[in-house]
Each structure stands twice: as structure tokens, then as C-alpha cells.
Amino acid sequence: MARIGVINISDGRDYVHGGIAEFIVANEDKLVRALQDAGHEVVRARLPVSANTLATSVAREVEAAGVDLTVLHYCVWAFPHFTMLAAGQLTSPLVLLANLDPVQPGMVGMLAAGGALDQVGRAHTRLWGDPEDDAVIAAIGVRATAAHTVKALRGQTFGRIGGRPMGMNTATANTDQWHRQFGVDVEEIDQWEIVRRAEKADADEKTRARRWLERHANVHYDGEKLTEEILERQIGSYLAMRELIDEWHLDFTGIKGQPELTQYFATMDVAEAFLNDPYDWNGPKEPHVCATEADMDGALTMQILKHVAGTPVLFADVRHYHGDRDIWDLCNSGQHATWYAARSDDPAENLAKVHLFPEVFFFPAGGASVQHIAAPGRMTLARLTRDDGRYRLQLMLGEFENYDDTTTEALVKMSTPEWPHAFARLDAPAEVFLSRFGANHIHAVPGDHRAELRAVCELLDVTLDEFTRG
């Protein structure tokens, strides 16, 4: 959850403030308690602002605490210049919250303060209602989550392993633009580092990991494309990536893979799947966003979704549209995190539904494809794309569906049965999606996170391009 600053703004007349101070603190107590109950960390100003000196000093203290979002709370009439002085010390996004009390004109104070901020071009969000109202707290939470996500991006490093894959311009972004708009640096690393480090990776750990996979997943060796040796080479690639991530302090990554690694070394399916998972053979871990085909905009989308949703993120090609069913087959080699097989924190429960199949002819070097059918449920699907150089977030709701075994087998055989599949019913007509969507890759997380992502777009100056059937 986010770290939220709370500053109450009061009347600047001593005799008025003295009569309302207890009322302000009582309402502030309610607000702080409700935010904490919702899981947020709250940084509370030491006093309500009743003088210009306090406006500056308490705002500086809240700013120094590193908050993601600051709530300026108006439960009484408040001198507007106190808001202006406080806002001048704050770099976090601002929420102006007014109590609706027929006696104390907090709403009037918020409107006066908001108008003053408008005059100087300081962006803010206005909310109103009782500080214990669940809807009010949820609305603050949406803004706080978005602010936390945007703040978390700034100063991060993306590790790009390899270059542009197979001529895909949509997978390659402008590093200057990333610095300017998102505050993200890009570290360029050669794919040879995976080969070199995979060969030197601990042999005992590679064997232990292979046996763990053989116990928990369904491994289909064929003696040619998939052998124990090749599977351990893929595990070594995962260990190589973990080493690179730690050594270069990489926050998220992408691996080119095609055509060099997939033609001469091994597919990166095992490495990519387990990097995105919240576990491996050593136990629970923080999921690390890794995009296949070194997809920069895909990885950035996934990193945003991870911060917003707090779950692993699914990466897929928009592989096929079944017009007779109005469903999409989202499928891309072994990129899907195994967590999506059952969405369980128990890896054994997920891996029981996972098959490691020999790779298909696209990838002559061989290796295992990490195949499963994504578990059903409501999903938020999104993708950062660029329209004439400007970023937009293409956003929609969807529903992942599961079917009986016969239907599922028939559907997967229509494309590539060895690869993972998510069967999605999108909240967008096919003709709209295919006419507007700006990439072949799409990303998803469970639940409805559209409100938070809309707020992220505002904070990052990204155009929102939302798809609906309405």
C-alpha cells in the first residue's frame, strides 16, 4: 500500500481556530484511522495549519517523510493561501478533501483553495464526503496507488538483454523519452552474458531445479528437442538472469531471445516464466517483470501493472480470434508465469497444471515450452503503445474462461498446443480492437484496476485509450 500524508488546513484567525481546533483533530483522527484500516501508511502533520509559518513547516516535514500522495483536509473554512504555501513545499500529487458539514464550511474552503491552485496550474484532485465513508477512502486509495506506482518507476533501471527482436519496432522505445517521461534508465546487456553465465551456473543447483520440476510439473522429454541436458541449460539461463539482475541492480528486464538464442542455444521460456513467478525451487520470492522479445513498452506496462495490482503479470501475443465464440486466444511461447495456471501461492498447485513440452519448429535450439491454460476470472488488460511518438495506455476489462477438456483441446490445437493459452472475452468488439490496438503483445492482471490506471495516466501525461462495448 501507499504512504499518504495528511495535512489539515484551518482558519488563520486565532480566536476562530481556537474554537474549532478540537473539531479539526477529531475529524483528522477519523480520516487517519480509516486510511490505516485500508492498509495505508499515514504521515500525519503535527498540527493543523492555522498560520503561514505552519503551512510551510508542516508541509516540509510531510515532504521529508517521502509520501506518495498528500491529502489536504478541509473540515472548516480555511485560508486559501495556507494551501498555496503548503503546496509549494510538496512534490507529491495532491488530493483536496472536504467534509460536507452544514455548520462548518469545509467545502467552501476546498473550493477557494482549489481555485487558487488552478490559477497557478498546480494539478490536484478534489474529493468530498465523510472521512469514514468507504467510498471516500477508496477514492483516496486509487490516487495513492497510482502515485505510489509512478513514484516507484522513477529511478528504476530496465535491463535490455539483446536488441530489437525480428524487426519489431513496437518492442523498441526511445531511451531519452523514458528518462524524461518515466524517470527510467535502460542498461544494454549482450545476450552472450546469458550463454556465458548459464554454462558456469552451479551444476548441482541446475540438477536440483530440474528434479523439482520433474516432481511438480509434467515434463515431456522427447530425447531430441527436450532432454535433461537442454532443460538444465534453460535453468542455467534463469540463474544467469538472476545473477545479472543482482549484479546490475535491474528492476525489470527483457530478453531478445529470437532468433539467436532460440536458434543456437535454447529458448528462454523457463527463464522468463520463473522470473515472472512469485516462487522458484528455492521458495517464495518477489516476482520480477521480464518481457520476452526484449519488449520495452511491454515490460514497462508490466511493471506498472505489477505495482498497481501487486500480482505477477501475464504477457501474451494476441494470437487468434475465435469469431464463433467471441473469444481471443492469448498465447506466446512459454512467457506466461506458471502462477496463472491456478493463481495459487502454492507452486505445486500451479505446476500440477503445467506441462513442459518440447519446443516447436520455430525454435530449432530446443528446450521446454512452459504450457498451461490460464485460470478463469475477471482481468484488467492493458498495453502502453505509441501514436505518432506520444504514449497512450490502451486499457480494457476482460474475462478469462475455462472450458471442458474436449473444447479446450480443440481450441489449443487450432494454434500452437505446446504453448500456454489464456482464453479471453474482451470488453471490446473485435472490429474495434483490431482497428485500434497498437501492438501484437498484451498484458493482464486479475481484477478490475482501471481506476488506478486512469490515475496513472494522468500523473504520467499518458493518453488514456479505453476500450469498452458501451
pLDDT value for 324: 97
Of 360, 372, 164, 168, which is closest to residue 267 (Cα–Cα)?
360
The whole-number pLDDT of residue 470 equals 77
Place of cell 473444447: 407
* Residues 105-114: tens digit of each pLDDT: 999 999 999 9
Pick one of 3.40.50.1070, 3.90.420.10, 3.30.980.20, 3.65.10.10 as the CATH number of 3-153.
3.40.50.1070
| Confidence bin at 333 (pLDDT 50/70/90) | confident
Topology, domain 157-466: L-fucose Isomerase; Chain A, domain 3 (3.20.14)
C-alpha angle with apex 309: 451 to 417, nearest 5 degrees? 110
Query: Is pLDDT at 361 greater than 90 in this prediction?
Result: no
User: Which of the 8 DSSP states describes residue 136?
Assistant: H
Cα-based angle 179, 42, 128 (whole degrees, multiple of 5): 90
DSSP lists the bridge partners of residue 41 as 3
Q: What is the pLDDT of residue 259?
A: 92
Reported confidence tier of residue 362, pLDDT bands at 50, 70, 90: confident
Secondary structure tally for the chain: helices H, strands E: 16, 21
- Residue 334 confidence (pLDDT): 66
Q: What is the pLDDT of residues 152-206, one digit of tens each?
A: 999 999 999 999 998 899 899 999 999 999 999 999 999 999 999 999 999 999 9
The DSSP bridge pattern shows strands 218-219 and 355-358 to be parallel
pLDDT for the residue numbered 1: 81
What is residue 343's DSSP assignment?
Answer: -
Q: What is the pLDDT of residue 419?
A: 96
* Angle of the 80-87 helix axis to the 106-119 helix axis, nearest 10: 50
Dump pLDDT digits (tens) for 29-49: 999 999 999 999 999 999 999
Contact of 375 with 343, CB cutoff 8 Å: yes
Report the candidate in 320, 325, 326, 317 with the shortest Cα–Cα distance to residue 414: 320
* Residues 298-304, mean pLDDT to the nearest whole number: 98
Q: What is the pLDDT of residues 381-411, one digit of tens each?
A: 999 999 999 999 999 999 999 999 999 999 9
Q: What is the dihedral of CA 107, 111, 114, 118, to 10 degrees?
A: 160
Percent of the chain with pLDDT over 90: 96
Give the other-Cβ count within 10 Å of 322's Cβ. Answer: 14
Per-domain boundaries in the chain: 3-153, 157-466
SS3 content of the chain, % helix, strand, coil (to 5): 40, 25, 35
**Rounded CA separation 66/397 (Å):** 33
